[in-house]
Structure 1
Amino acid sequence: MSMFRKTIITILLLLGVAGSLLAARTFIAGHLFTKKMTTVPDVREGDIIFQVSQSGLSTAIQLATHSKYSHCGIIFKRDDDQWYVYEALQPVRYTPLREWIARGKKGHYVVKRLKDAATAITPAVIRKMKAAGKSFNGKDYDFYFGWSDERIYCSELVWKIYKSATGLEIGTLQTLKEFDLSSTAVKQQMKAIYGDHIPLDEKIISPVSMFESPLLEAIKN
């Protein structure tokens, strides 16, 4: 066997070993990733999921509402039979549930469900919820936290879908002036959003008001 042929065979063998190792490493890494990301709760359509988003606006919301939870959405299935969170981010959209969970601070989340969901959240109601939510799909996030449907923020989306489809009000509407606006972080955000014209009488539904609603019970903490 010529030296050239021996060299080629050696290279091919080395490439084969390297390829096998790479394939094995990819399989193991993929398996571990899948195992880690399959720790999803036994959710149902219509469940409301809460998390701490990682942004300056989130910090201001936490300080103003005295709650660590600053973002929420509704859990639905889509045509591919996978779980998604319908959320008002930028823009309003469906986000795969695992991706949504991973995006939050330290992957922490809380799922809440109507206490009488077994009778109140029927397949017909889910269809109504999805139909109500469809009118908001693709709309811009509402940094002004206004109550019109032109732009939508997270808890407003969830509240309006529930109100439209079930008649229930999840959480209590408040005005902006009812929140704690005293911290520097809140003042800076309000200045950036509103300038010198702060709409103190604008009605708002906060994530914490929904989180604390007596109509809901925690499914996963």
Structure 2
Amino acid sequence: MRWWVMWMVWLGALNAAAAPREGLEARLQTGDIVLHTSRSSQSQAIQKATQSPLSHVGMVEVTEDGAWVVEAVQPVQRIRFSKWKARGLKGGVLVLRPQALTAAQRQRAVTSAKAHLGKPYDWRFGWGDEAMYCSELVRKAYAQGAGVAYGKMERLDSLRVKGLEQQLRERYGKRVPLELELVTPASIAADVRLEVVHSDFPSVR
């Protein structure tokens, strides 16, 4: 009977891999940029500082076995889109698609992002490659893979950081580097070179 059980397990896995994508997932393409409201401990601070509900961002890769998201969490990882979407507050998601880029360029950007898999999350929002935060990963992946840098670099003190002094001291210590330049999920979401494919955030775009 053992061969029969093994055959059934194999058949089930084959059917799961070949199952058609449905709903929003069926509309996704490799290279799409996806954002949501994270449930992480730092999400509210990011939302307040950027005046946006969007606090996390990743990149889509569509394969024969479904849609995945490459994201910088702890550590940088590749996760099924369905699980990534469910992690966001109320399942809300914004899907953006780069305009004027070929499928090959978008694939190269995703490949560039995947080169950072396993790296730790950068809690200090630095710009080195030894650790990554979510919007840094997306900006660098497209810059390196397709020659386009989405979002813009902003100084920390240009954001709405008033009232976040305690959180900043916990992260940086006594001296908060207000001159630090970083890219935020909200900045990427606002980039007009990205076309809206789907939005559960009508007030954002």
**Same-fold status (TM-score > 0.5):** yes
Q: Distance in 1 between matches of 2:58 and 2:193?
A: 16
Q: Which residue of 2 aligns with 1:106?
A: 90
Distance in structure 2 (CA, Å) of the matches to 1:59 and 1:91: 21
Q: Which stretches in structure 2 are left out of the alignment for 5+ residues? A: 1-20, 200-205
Give, in angstroms, the shift of residue 187 of structure 1.
Answer: 2.0
Q: Distance in 2 between matches of 1:136 and 1:177?
A: 28
Give the match's secondary structure for 1:56: coil
Aligned residues: 179
Shift of 1:127: 4.0
2:150 is the alignment partner of 1:163: no
Identical-residue share of aligned pairs (%): 34
| TM-score of the aligned structures, taking structure 1 as reference length | 0.76
Gapped regions of structure 1 (runs ≥ 5): 1-36
TM-score, reference length from structure 2: 0.82
**CA-to-partner distance for each residue in 1:160-212, whole Å, 9 max, x for gaps?**
000011111211111111111112xx222211101112111111000000000
RMSD, aligned CA: 1.7
Name the residue aligned to 1:121.
Answer: 102
Question: How far apart, CA to CA, are the structure 2 residues paired with 1:173 and 1:127?
Answer: 24
8 A contact 1:46–1:121 mirrored in 2: no
TM-superposed CA distance for 1:38, in Å, is 4.5
2-structure distance, mates of 1:170, 1:130 = 14
1:68 aligned residue: 53
- 1:218 maps to which residue? 196
Structure having the higher helix fraction is 1
Maintained 8 Å contact 2:97/2:194: yes
Please show how residues 27-176 of structure 1 align to structure 2 within 5 Å: 38-41=22-25, 42-78=27-63, 80-116=64-100, 120-123=101-104, 125-176=105-156
| CA distance, structure 1, for counterparts of residue 179 and residue 127 of structure 2 | 11
Determine which structure has more spread, i.e. the larger CA radius of gyration. 1
Structure 1 residues 127 and 49, CA gap change in structure 2 (3 angstroms):
closer
